[in-house]
Structure 1
Amino acid sequence: MAAVATAPRESPPGPSPGAGEGAECLFVVLGAGFTALSHPLLYVKLLVQVGHEPLPPTIGRNLLGRKVFYLPGFFTYARHIVEVDGKMGLFRGLTPRIVSSTLSTVTRGSAKRAFPLQDMEHVSNKDDLKTSLRKVVKETTHEMMIQCVSRVVSHPLHGIIRSAQETSLNLFLFFFRGLIPHILGDVVFLWCCNLLAHFINTYAVDDNFSQASVIRSYTKFVMGIAVSMLTYPFLLVGDLMAVNNCGLRAGLPPYLPVFASWVQCWRHLSAQGPSRGVRGGLLSFRRSPTPMNGLFLATQLVTLKVKKKKS
């Protein structure tokens, strides 16, 4: 933290410059550990996003009790990966993901030190709405710049996870496929989340309420969950463009058309309807988008009855 005292006086004991670097190193280590623990979930999600469905849908019931077809959930998918590739199969691509996470954390820390945000006094009174809104805009702009720099620096590591087999492509540009929708998703997420949290805390939470500070501390977290559902299509398009026409079977026809730009990919997904749950938005209760005929339905019902008799 920058020193604010102007007169020579005895400073209270506080963290030394080296302590800040030690805290950042600890944060990097903890981030790497969390990345390792969450990698199987993200790996399954990526396979679901690109449309890799090795297991057939099964019959289930919706909230109304009607029979519908569900695609395999996370645990079923993960169990299939273990059966095919072993337990280590769930950790494919872990090393570049850890490097990407570490690089992103270090870049954010360096950018914050290089471009520090000037502190503004805390304002929560409705009478100072303009001042508080200006504070939110300033903080969000600063956060957006840091996030964009971090995204640009760490994005090429997404290309290491996949296979660069097309010699006709410029490798430099190849590693930046899907960067634009990812950045747009980050920007939309930051602005929507921060502005919504600000207006809710300003108009919906009364300062006279005893738990106002507690509620305000959770508002941004809740808004983040809600806004992430809104910005998920940007993440989906970015991930699909990352594997599109790169040599992987999942990124080539008939599994995925070859797109000239991320806008074309967006339009293709929009034409398919609300497929967010199928494409990784949900990892459980994924409705099958393929209409099933009566013969297939009858076959699945017979199979279920046979399994019940055997059990």
Structure 2
Amino acid sequence: MYMLQQQQTDLLQQQQQLDESVDLDSHDNDDELPVEKDSDDYEVFQPEPPSELCRFLLRMSLSALMHPFEYAKVLMQLGHEPLPATVGKNLLGKPTIYLPSFYQYLGYMKRIDGMLGLYRGLAARVLSCASSSFFAERFMNCLLPYRAESEKGRTLGEFAWNLLRNGLIVSTGVLVSHPFNVISVRQMASVVGGELAYTSFKGSVQEIFKQSGLRGFYVGFVPHLVYDLAVLVLTSSVDGICQHWLPLKPEQRQYNSALLQFAAVLLFYPLQVVSTCMCCSGSGMAAGAPPCMPIYAKWSDCLMDLLARGQHNRGAFIYRRTLPKMYMS
């Protein structure tokens, strides 16, 4: 019994010695730990933003990927509806005549023109986007540097300066890119009448120049320019007012800007339809002549005619495209 108690006593002493050694080691390790530094002493890792070339290539790739939808939209804006309408009911349960959706439209165009046919005018469209978003912006940045917002907030002078700068960028972009836009629209519209002159990019340039000279590359230029400037002025003005009077967080400002952009595009969309129609009106193409389309002398006549017939929003929606009420009787 005594031997057992002695062994227990020895074990307890050994356990205490081990505990003390562990405590000493922990204190030593605590001394070796680095002292906490202020947050300012640490460098916060921030990923580098993509280069300008990467952003440019991404925009061009997205433009090429979405080209079939742009192709269908242009044909809808021109009033080309090869598929019959169907009768359905709206949200209120009333009978309504619906036009085919974008996907039905693209399926039909693929059947009659093949998969490659959905990419008519792609080269001209890519050149239009490239010249507008890259060359014009780089040129204007060299002339008019952007004035950043100060700590006290954006002043009226800074807002006016930046709006003027952005307006010049937009105007220059439209001026440089519109000839390619005309070529692209006519190449896409050639599917209506089967005009062979617009099969290739080179042939389209020669045909337009032979018909109207350099002036032919700027048909529909005014509504195109007015559309882009109107969207810019409206979104910039309303966004500036919201930032000045409403306490919005940065994330809320981004959502607000996106909603304003969508509303402005929808509001001035008829000008985009007018520009597309004027690119073909009077050109000798089937898509720009009766019975597909009246021949307009001025773009304002085209706008008034579309508004009167309720055709000013052609191609604005992907689903549930309805005929104007005047055609339902």
TM-score by length of 1: 0.78
In the alignment, structure 1 residue 286 sits paired with structure 2 residue 321: yes
In the alignment, structure 1 residue 63 sits paired with structure 2 residue 97: no
Shift of 1:123: 5.1
In the alignment, structure 1 residue 184 sits paired with structure 2 residue 253: no
The separation in 2 between residues aligned to 1:270 and 1:276, in whole angstroms, is 5
In the alignment, structure 1 residue 97 sits paired with structure 2 residue 125: yes
Q: Evaluate the alpha carbon distance shift between residue 226 and residue 166 of structure 1 in structure 2; reply closer, same or farther with a 3 A threshold.
A: closer
The separation in 1 between residues aligned to 2:148 and 2:82, in whole angstroms, is 54
Task: Tell me which residue corresponds to 1:116.
Answer: 144
Unaligned runs of 5+ in 2: 1-47, 187-197, 199-203
The separation in 2 between residues aligned to 1:112 and 1:259, in whole angstroms, is 35
| Higher alpha-carbon deviation: 64-73 or 105-114 | 105-114
The separation in 2 between residues aligned to 1:88 and 1:246, in whole angstroms, is 25
The separation in 2 between residues aligned to 1:123 and 1:177, in whole angstroms, is 45
Task: Tell me which residue corresponds to 1:307.
Answer: none
The separation in 1 between residues aligned to 2:144 and 2:107, in whole angstroms, is 46
Shift of 1:80: 0.4
In the alignment, structure 1 residue 200 sits paired with structure 2 residue 242: yes
Structure with greater helix percent:
2
| 1:48 and 1:280 in contact (8 A); partners too | yes
| 2:77 and 2:277 in contact (8 A); partners too | yes
Larger Rg: 2
Task: Tell me which residue corresponds to 1:173.
Answer: 215
Q: Deviations over 1:178-224 (max 9, x none)?
A: 11111111111111001101112222336xxxxx2221232222110
Q: Evaluate the alpha carbon distance shift between residue 181 and residue 123 of structure 1 in structure 2; reply closer, same or farther with a 3 A threshold.
A: farther
Task: Tell me which residue corresponds to 2:160.
Answer: 137
The separation in 1 between residues aligned to 2:51 and 2:209, in whole angstroms, is 43
State the identity %: 29
Unaligned runs of 5+ in 1: 1-18, 126-130, 207-211, 294-311
Shift of 1:40: 0.7
Alignment of 1:146-157 (within 5 A): 146-157=169-180
| 1:243 and 1:250 in contact (8 A); partners too | yes
The separation in 2 between residues aligned to 1:201 and 1:112, in whole angstroms, is 26
The separation in 2 between residues aligned to 1:101 and 1:37, in whole angstroms, is 13
Q: Evaluate the alpha carbon distance shift between residue 166 and residue 220 of structure 1 in structure 2; reply closer, same or farther with a 3 A threshold.
A: closer
| 2:239 and 2:256 in contact (8 A); partners too | yes
Letter matched to residue 229 of structure 1: L
Match of 1:70, SS state, is strand
Match of 1:170, SS state, is helix
Q: Give the length in aligned residue pairs.
A: 262
Shift of 1:167: 7.8
Q: Deviations over 1:216-243 (max 9, x none)?
A: 2322221101111111111111111011
Shift of 1:292: 4.6
